[in-house]
Amino acid sequence: MSRDCAICRLHSDPIQISAFEIVRTPLWVLRHHHHPAPMLGWLLLDTLRHCSGPVDFNSDEASRWGGAVQQASQLVRDLTVCDRVYAIAFGEGAQHLHLHLIPRFINDPATAAWSVADHYRAVASGDRPAAGPEAVQALVRHARTVPS
């Protein structure tokens, strides 16, 4: 863990853990997007160690990644009753893979394909409302009770 790393700080901050973390394994952390959350159910699957992406996985991470993504994606679908789950990772902001798992609702144009990036920017800039913090907390509490 590094104090210079924003993701390491998130993974070790008791307030962030209490508010957003859903599950932690020896390899991954599954968490809800912090405030301002672009939408309810926007989850992130993070590597615990510094790892920029699958190209840098060790053998254990490589063998377990697919199952972790599938389980996390299923949880997004179960929690939000969305039609699809987008999985996007860019990896420029931190040396931790953090895969964005984004609910896609067929009847919501803001979640369509690349429009979801515009939606994210609009929430970040304050042009669209973020998911309500109370609703995020309720979803996180519920997600913690769902069997994996």
- End-to-end Cα separation, the chain, in angstroms: 27
pLDDT-above-90 percentage for the chain = 80
Report whether 54 contacts 62 (CB < 8 A).
yes
Q: What is the mean pLDDT of residues 115-121?
A: 92
Closest residue by Cα to residue 73 from 11, 148, 7, 16: 148
Distance CA 52, CA 56 (A): 6
Distance CA 112, CA 5 (A): 32
Which residues have CB under 8 Å from 114's CB, separation 6+?
none
- Backbone region of residue 70 per phi and psi (left: phi > 0; alpha: psi in -120 to 50; beta: other values): alpha
Q: What is the mean pLDDT of residues 121-143?
A: 96
Exposed, middle or buried, 90 (CB in 10 Å: 0-12/13-18/19+)? Answer: exposed
3-state secondary structure 62-105: HHHHHHHHHHHHHHHHHHHCCCEEEEECCCCCCCECEEEEEEEC
Distance CA 64, CA 102 (A): 21
pLDDT digits (tens, 9 = 90+) for 72-100: 999 999 999 999 999 999 877 778 899 99
Res 45 pLDDT > 70: yes
Which pLDDT does position 5 carry in this prediction?
84
